[in-house]
């Protein structure tokens, strides 16, 4: 089992160790057909891509696509989920440079509003140590994911449910309706085998990505083949894998 298109990779434009050119060079070396550069969305004060860099990244990627005909290079952004209403931190001025958009939940972002600090960000932290909050937080987070899919044209949800517990059944159903791919991210252990088993009841697609932050990790599936085997999911449902 091998990744053909690594759809989730980071570079020095957020907190990756290597440049776009170095990641692409490595992608060619390991025989990737395609690579997507997806650095973090702007609302992360440390990791977020600076607004002014999107044009630069686009130009670098266009030049590399001109230079190489053995690999396709795409620009995306791993936007942050920043509000209970499904807000993500991508604006038109950035989106226009991207080939497609992914979204995931991370710590340390600026919430969409003051209210979201109290109704969204803090409850997600608190539910980790206060189990009685978990049910309400899961219901809220599930609504958030569904609203996000309704509001934005997202191709992929990265590490679904990581740091933000969800009802995977409801999210998978909505993802199938909206044509959104759910990621099997072995770096974060979401989706895991149990979650895939539930999600695959719906006609949703999956992708396995490395979430590489350096050339050494590019295309690395870690435990994903075992996870896929344990879930019993047909490989044809994973969009970026070959035998």
Q: How far is the CB of 158 from Zn ion (least distance, A)?
A: 5
Name the residue nearer to Zn ion (CB basis): 41 or 83. Answer: 41
- Work out whether 211 is an interface residue with Zn ion (CB under 5 A): yes
Applying CB under 5 A, the span of 61-69, 99-107, 202-210, 234-242 interacting with Zn ion comes to 99-107
Calculate ∠ Cα 160-6-24, nearest 5°: 140
Name the residue nearer to Zn ion (CB basis): 78 or 87. Answer: 78
Strands lying side by side in the sheet with 156-157 = 5-9, 34-40, 72-80, 102-104, 156-157, 181-184, 206-208
Query: What is the footprint of Zn ion within residues 34-53 (CB under 5 A)?
Result: none
Q: What distance in Å separates the CA atoms of residue 194 and residue 228, rounded to the nearest whole number?
A: 10
The sign of the CA dihedral 124, 125, 128, 130 is negative
Binding mask 139-178 for Zn ion (x = CB under 5 A): -------------------x--------------------
Q: How far is the CB of 197 from Zn ion (least distance, A)?
A: 23
The sign of the CA dihedral 155, 161, 162, 164 is positive
For Zn ion, the binding residues (CB under 5 A) are 78, 104, 158, 211
């Amino acid at each position: 089992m091998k990744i053909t298109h690594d759809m989730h990779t980071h570079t020095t434009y957020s907190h990756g160790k290597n440049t776009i050119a170095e990641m692409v060079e490595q992608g060619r070396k390991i025989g990737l057909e395609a690579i997507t550069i997806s650095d973090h969305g702007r609302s992360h004060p440390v990791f977020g891509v600076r607004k002014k860099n999107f044009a630069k990244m686009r130009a670098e990627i266009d030049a590399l696509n001109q230079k190489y005909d053995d690999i396709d290079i795409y620009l995306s952004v791993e936007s942050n989920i920043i509000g209970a209403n499904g807000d993500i931190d991508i604006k038109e001025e950035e989106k226009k440079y991207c080939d497609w958009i992914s979204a995931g939940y991370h710590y340390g972002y600026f919430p969409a509003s003051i209210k979201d600090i109290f109704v969204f960000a803090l409850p997600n932290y608190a539910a980790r140590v206060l189990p009685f909050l978990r049910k309400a937080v899961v219901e809220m987070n599930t609504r958030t994911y569904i609203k996000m899919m309704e509001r934005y044209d997202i191709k992929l949800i990265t590490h679904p449910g990581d740091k933000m517990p969800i009802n995977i059944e409801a999210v998978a159903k909505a993802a199938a309706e909206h044509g959104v791919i759910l990621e099997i991210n072995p770096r974060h252990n979401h989706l895991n085998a149990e979650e895939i088993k539930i999600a695959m009841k719906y006609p949703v697609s999956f992708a396995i990505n490395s979430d590489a932050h350096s050339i050494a990790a590019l295309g690395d599936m870690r435990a994903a083949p075992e996870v896929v085997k344990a879930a019993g999911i047909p490989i044809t449902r994973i969009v970026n894998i070959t035998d």
